[in-house]
Every structure is written in structure tokens, then in C-alpha cells.
Chain A
Amino acid sequence: MGGDAGASVIELTDVSKVYASGELSVEALRSVSVVIRGGEFVAIMGPSGSGKTTLLAILGCLDRPTSGSYKLVGEEVSTLDETHRARVRGGRIGFVFQAYNLLPRTTAYRNVELPLVYAHVPARERRPRVLAALADVGLSDRIDHLPTQLSGGQQQRVAIARALVIKPSVLLLDEPTGNLDSKSEEEILTMLGHANLAGATLAMVTHSEEVAQHASRIVRLADGVIVSDEPIERPIAVGAR
């Protein structure tokens, strides 16, 4: 799903981000360099204010680094304008947010279809892809439900289907289980493990050590710099299956 396993999907080199507000300027990221390869499942951890959300925004092309280079599947994306970044987001990046961020008053089907519409996928090709994506997250019987008619776990599964329907190069997750009970959390993490096994590359921001243990690698940030970057030898996700 995410290109050749082992090839670098994300390549950050000396990336800094400075937020300037008035006379104050805050350095959220300082010369961060990291490589994420195809098929990896990376957990990004750190206390609040450590820069992990900023890092995820830059990885997701929602924000631009102040300096440094960001190559996504070999393409330099740090200098793109908003129109081209929108194209990269729509074509290569899948997002899953803590608050699900589904469109209100819009069915599960339409929510999942949305990225395909913006990516100019012809209408007749959309339907099978949307149905397949919803089937992958076990919601084939909920396609016409509105977000308000779905549980939190189900909403997050719709969000995962929406993120995966474009077959992204990388799936970015921001506290994906932060709003869920432990049963739903387990479901979602299992689902992400499956996607990872199927080849998807994942980068997940979390503050929970337990959740992070589902990843294959943990990158820890503090004060805008990477303080540790270690693989997990035996991901519990595999053991749990």
C-alpha cells in the first residue's frame, strides 16, 4: 500500500519550525531529522509542547517548515504552495484525528468518498473503492448512517476508511484512540495493525505508552528535538493477534 517496504517514504532533514506571534517567537521544532521507511509503524511521543503535533502537521503538509527539507516519496514538498500541498494531501496522505473529524450531516459513504471526489477519481470508479474501504473497517452495514448515528469507535473506523481509500503513502494519526473507551481502542489499534501488516506506513502521535507499544518504533520529542528513536523488538500487536 505504501510503496516498496524499506524505501524511505518520509525524509526530514534539519527541519525547524518557528511560530512568530508579535514580538514573541516560539521554536516548536529545532533541526529535526528523521527517516520513515515503507511499512514502518512509528509512534511519536513527547510531553505537550514538545513539538509532536507540529511535526505531524508538517508531515501531513498541513503546515510548512520554517527551514529544512521534507521529501515525501522522494519529492521535495516543503516549498510547495497551498494548492500543491492540497494535492499532496489528497493523493498521498491519510489523516485520522482524535476527534474523528467527519463531515456532519453527511453519510459514512459520502465521507469516505470525499477524498476521491477531490482527487478527480471518476464517479464510476469511486463506488467500489468506497465500499471496499468501508468493508475493510467492518462497516459494510453502516454505509448510509450519519456520524450522529454511529458510536465513537465506528466514527473513527469511518475516518480510517476515509484515510485509506486513496491508498496513501503514509497514514498520519493524531491520538486516534484518545476519545475512545478501551474496547474501541483495542479494535482501532488492531485495525491499524492489520493495515500496517498489509503494507501501510503509519506515523502516530500518542501520549499513551500502552498505545505506543503497538508501533514498531518510537520517536520521542522534547522541546522541539528528538531525544530518542528506538525500534520495538516485539510489537505487542503481533502477539495480540
Chain B
Amino acid sequence: MTAALEHWRIATAALKANWFRAILTALGVVIGVASLIAVTAVSAGASADVAASIRRLGANVVGVDGEYISVGTRQSATDRTITPGDVAEIAKLPMISLAAPHQDVESLVVSAGRFRTNTWLVGMTPTYAQIYNQRIARGRAITENDISFGRDVIVLGLVPAARLFPGRDPIGGTVRVGSHEFEVIGIQARRGQLADENLDNRIFLPLPIVTRVLLGGLNTVHMAVRVTSESEIETAQDAMSEILIRRHALPAGYPEDFSTQDQASVLKEAQSATTTFKALTFALGGIALLVGGIGIMNMMLVSVHERTREIGIRKSVGASPRVVQAQFLIEAIVLSTLGGIAGVLAGIGAVYLIGTIAGWQTLIGVPSLVIAFAVALAIGLIFGYYPARRASRLDPIAALRYE
């Protein structure tokens, strides 16, 4: 190859001579590359977030929710559909490692002294805490003894803890739920969001107190199970459905009075909502790159036109068409690659800003940087080809006479 160094020198000299035009031209590539990097980093961050959430919220968790069906079933409204017998039989399934009934009251005003807050009550057991990977930040968790001795104890999520005991230590404090008072024994560690639910706006009471004392009866609306492995989740859902249909004696053709859903799919669904947004931003980045490429092609065509005489001179002293083509192609590649480098830097900057301002988790992968860079290079190659080809085909005589 005729002195790559010479080509590099010619290319940089030509770009320097028209540096402002070169910068404007490279801007499209800069924006395109930067947005691709930003989108990739945000979506990689979101994926890592989901994986971390699944680890934090408990893996392979399936929830069973009872649903009251008014016609044709033997359950009454107060039966709340999931019986201790249902739970016991499901717990025996080979692919179920843990099963725990729980009773939720989804909107409830509770108070501590003059402070009140609207929260979500969960009547639960230590098994429930185990299934959902509940961690206690301060104090202690609800134990089997609390349940068997019928102690009036309560564990608070971070949100009610802050609202009911602003600036004070909640441990040992008293929370009033309905006409009953409970002693705060623990604060749940941060759990974050599951889809659009704030899992930190929760209060936890021993299950029997909720079912027997606050609501009456033994049954619950909810049950949580942990499946032995992710691959068994669907089998487990089918097996649980079969048991519940049989035990609830649902007539054939009647709707089921329960539903099952696994937690991971809720998370993934929540994430997929952002997929559309992601695809859109990705497409915009692609369009910016395309426009950038066309900009490079345009500038190179102008450059070839302006330097017609130079091309003629080079040809007269022995530059072959291939050498002339290489010269202009390298100029286009240098331009797009410099744009790519600037784009990578701008992209990293944008990711950093998104991380700090929006508070999203982001993850910049080295492969994405390499790919973005390669894309910039390819843009120069593709959109520089035609102008370079045109330069190489100029008639030397006409080029020399060109004024």
C-alpha cells in the first residue's frame, strides 16, 4: 500500500484546512454514536436492575391470588378462597420448596400518635419472609413464637416507618391498626419497586392476628410459593391449578376462582414497557448515524469537487486511480472515526448525566463502545466510497485544466 502514513498526512491536512466544516459534518456521527451508547448503557443497566431485583425480592416466587366468583362455587365471600388445606397440599408438591399463606389489606390508614399514613398491610409468617427474601434493617423479624403466642407485634416498611415516626426511632413504638395496637419490633430493609408498586410501603403483622382477629376466619386470599428451579415454574403453576380446581370443586367450564403469577415475569413485563422507548431511541440514533453518513458523503463530494485540480496533479505525477480512491476513502474514515471517538466520549458523558440526574442504573459495556466505534468506521467506509470512487475516475486532463 502506498504509504498509509502519506494518506494519513493528506487526510488530516485536508480536514485541518476545512476544520469547521469537518466538525459540523462529524456532528451527525457524534450524536448517533453517543445516543447508541447511551441507550445501550441505560438498557443494560435496566437489565442488571431486574436481575438484582429478582435476587433481592426472591427468585422463583409464584403468587396465588384467590378471586371471589359469585356464581356456582361453594365458597362464600368471607372464605377468601385459599384454605389452610389448600396450602398444605400444595406444599407437598415436589417442585415446591416453600409455601406460605398471607393476607393483604391493600389500602389501610394506620396511625402512631398524631401521625397517620395510608399503607398496605400484610399478615404473614416467617415462611413468607423466607420466600420473599425479606431482610430486617433494624430490630428483628416476626418469629414462629410471635405467631404461636399471639403477640401484637408489627414490622414496618421504610415508608410507614418514616411517616409514622418522623425523626424518631420506631423500634418499641406503638402503631394503631383499626382498634388494635401493635409494638414495632423491626424495620424491613429496602426492597424497592416491583413494577409500579412501592414494596417499601408495607406493614407486616403475624398472619393469625390478621385473619382471626382483624378479619375473622382462617382462610386467606393470597399464598406465596417458592419453586425449586426456574424451569419448574410453569409445571408448578399447572400442578397448583389442578389441586385448587379439585379442592374448590369448580364445575367444568366455570372460571377459576384463583390466579397464579410468577414474580420474575412481572419484572420482565415492567421492563418490556421500556423496550418500546428503547427501540425508538435506538432508531433515532440510527437515523442520526444515517444523516451523519449522508453529511460525510456530501462533504466528501464537495471536497472532491474543490480539489479536482489537486487530483489532476496527483494523477500526473503517478497516482493510480486506486491510490486516489484510497486517499479520499481514508479522509472519510478519519472524519467518521474522529466523530466516533467524540461520540463515544459524549455517550459516556450522557450516560453519566442520566445516571446522576434521573437516578437510573446504567452499565457501559466495553463491547458496546467497540461496536459503536466500528459502526462509525463503517459509516465512513460506506458513505466515503462513492465520493472516493468519483475522485479516482476523474479524467486527469480535465482535472488539470479545472479552475
Contact = CB atoms under 8 A, between A and B. Distances in A.
B17 A117 contact: no
Interface string B63-78: 0000000000000000
Interface string A90-105: 1100010100011111
A87 interface: yes
Interface in B374-403: 396-397, 400
A117 B323 CA distance: 11
Majority secondary structure of chain B interface residues (helix, strand, loop or mixed): helix
Contacts of B3: 117, 123
A162 B317 CA distance: 9
A144 interface: no
Nearest to A120: B2
Interface in A68-122: 82-83, 86-87, 89-91, 95, 97, 101-106, 114-115, 117-120
B253 interface: no
Contact of B313 (A63, A83, A101, A119): A101
A191 to B, nearest CB: 19
Contacts of A117: 2-3, 6
Nearest to B396: A62
Contacts of A105: 13, 17
B318 A90 contact: yes
A87 B13 CA distance: 25
A89 B317 contact: yes
Interface string B150-172: 00000000000000000000000
A118 B13 contact: no
A60 interface: yes
A57 interface: yes
Contact of B309 (A89, A91, A101): A101
A115 B397 contact: no
A83 B323 CA distance: 10
Interface string B93-135: 0000000000000000000000000000000000000000000
B310 interface: yes
A107 B17 CA distance: 15
Given A103-B310, A103-B313, A87 B396 contact: no
Nearest to A118: B318
Given A97-B400, A105-B13, A86 B309 contact: no
Interface string A29-68: 0000000000000000000000000000100101100000
A60 B316 contact: yes
Contacts of A106: 13
B317 A90 contact: yes
Interface size class on chain B is 20 to 34
A115 B317 contact: yes
Interface in B298-318: 309-310, 312-318
Which of A62, A87, A95, A97 has the largest count of B CB atoms less than 10 A from its CB? A62
Contacts of A83: 320-322
B319 interface: yes
Contacts of A102: 313
Contacts of A63: 397
A114 B312 CA distance: 13
A90 B319 contact: yes
B319 A118 contact: yes
B4 to A, nearest CB: 11
Contacts of A114: 314, 317
Nearest to A56: B397
Contacts of A87: 318, 320
B318 A57 contact: no
A97 B403 CA distance: 14
Contacts of A101: 309, 312-313, 316, 400
Interface string B139-153: 000000000000000
A18 B2 CA distance: 35
Contacts of A60: 316
A117 B2 CA distance: 7
Contacts of B321: 82-83, 86
Contacts of A120: 2
Given A89-B317, A118-B317, A162-B317, 4 more contacts: A82-B320, A87-B318, A89-B318, A101-B309
20 contacts: A62-B396, A86-B315, A86-B318, A86-B321, A86-B323, A87-B318, A90-B319, A95-B316, A95-B317, A97-B400, A101-B316, A103-B313, A105-B13, A105-B17, A115-B317, A117-B2, A117-B6, A118-B319, A118-B323, A123-B3
Q: Which 8 A-B pairs rank lowest in CB-CB distance, beginning with the nearest?
A: A90-B318, A118-B318, A86-B320, A115-B317, A83-B320, A62-B396, A101-B313, A62-B397
